[in-house]
């Protein structure tokens, strides 16, 4: 092999190595801040432009160190926001509390003018339900099986917390029973399949995670694996069979497999607007990259 062939072979091997390492070691840390304009039925005019920062599926643990979690929380606290919501799967471990006790002191640093409200995901139950619930309570973020009225300009918006569909599901009618029928209802549910569960009440918007966007999004094909029954629930704003708008974030960490390809993690900013009468159902929102990645912004 002459020198030119050796250099060419080295270049090919280097490029192949970079390509192979990209979904494992690079894209997982390209955390984007994506803004979505979300039309919401029955939204009071006082809440037009209301901004909700949504964090989900942090999965602190292998390949998602505390430095990444700290960076995400710092980014969230610097955004223009009215409310912060978190929809579960904060840890990756099972049958242990070490990761729970490490990540929740960081989550307690989240701040917003109208508060921080959180529910649990299946991994939080698999790790330790009792300890996860204890931290929800101690941080004053607990919305699990609860409702909270948010008042602005003399009007009200209600936030409700569903249980995890796999581990502690409770009928949504029971949770929503304390909300007046005419008032706007936003439900936090880790698993978007919750929107297809049995209930008769109205939900104006559901905010979920769980899918991670599939972690691999093949162009013109979509995600090959989604851990939900309703395979339309990948990421972004979808419409349930009963007509409910369901927003699904791609989240931060991983669980399906330790890679991301064409599906970077995200901090989602949902800007609410009243749904216009001429609209039939929900439109897919426009996502715009406006933040920096973990890799370029530093810690």
pTM of the model: 0.89
Q: What was the pLDDT predicted at 1?
A: 59
Which stretches of the chain drop beneath a pLDDT of 50? 5-7, 9-20, 279-299
- DSSP strand E in 97-223: where? 116-118, 147-152, 155-161, 184-188, 205-208
Nearest to 83, CA basis, from 119, 110, 102 = 110
Q: What was the pLDDT predicted at 278?
A: 57
Which one of 3.90.1200.10, 3.90.1150.10, 3.60.21.10, 3.90.550.10 gives the CATH number of domain 31-297? 3.60.21.10
Nearest to 268, CA basis, from 40, 55, 28, 109 = 55
Q: What was the pLDDT predicted at 4?
A: 56
Q: What was the pLDDT predicted at 277?
A: 72
């Amino acid at each position: 092999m002459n020198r030119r062939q050796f250099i060419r072979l080295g270049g090919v091997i280097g490029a192949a190595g970079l390509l192979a390492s990209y979904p494992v070691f690079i894209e997982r840390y390209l955390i984007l801040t994506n803004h979505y304009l979300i039309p919401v039925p029955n939204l009071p005019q006082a809440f037009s432009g209301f901004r909700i920062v949504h964090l989900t599926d942090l999965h602190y643990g292998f390949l998602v160190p505390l430095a990444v979690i700290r960076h995400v929380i710092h980014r969230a606290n610097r955004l223009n926001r009215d409310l912060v919501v978190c929809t579960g799967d904060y840890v990756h471990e099972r049958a242990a509390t070490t990761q729970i006790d490490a990540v929740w002191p960081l989550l307690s640093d989240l701040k917003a003018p109208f508060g921080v409200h959180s529910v649990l995901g299946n991994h939080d139950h698999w790790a330790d339900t009792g300890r996860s619930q204890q931290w929800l309570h101690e941080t004053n973020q607990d919305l699990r099986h609860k409702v909270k009225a948010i008042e602005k300009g003399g009007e009200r918006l209600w936030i409700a917390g569903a249980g995890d569909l796999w581990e502690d599901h409770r009928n949504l009618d029971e949770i929503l029973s304390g909300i007046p029928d005419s008032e706007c209802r936003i439900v936090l549910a880790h698993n978007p399949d919750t929107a297809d569960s049995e209930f008769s009440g109205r939900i104006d918007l559901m905010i979920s995670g769980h899918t991670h966007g599939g972690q691999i999004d093949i162009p013109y094909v979509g995600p090959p694996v989604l851990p939900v029954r309703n395979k339309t629930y990948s990421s972004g704003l979808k419409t349930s069979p009963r007509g409910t708008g369901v927003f699904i974030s791609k989240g931060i960490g991983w669980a399906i497999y330790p890679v991301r390809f064409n599906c970077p993690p995200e901090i989602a900013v949902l800007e609410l607007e009243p749904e216009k009468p001429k609209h039939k159902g929900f439109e897919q929102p426009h996502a715009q990259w406006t933040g920096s990645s973990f890799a370029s912004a530093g810690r």
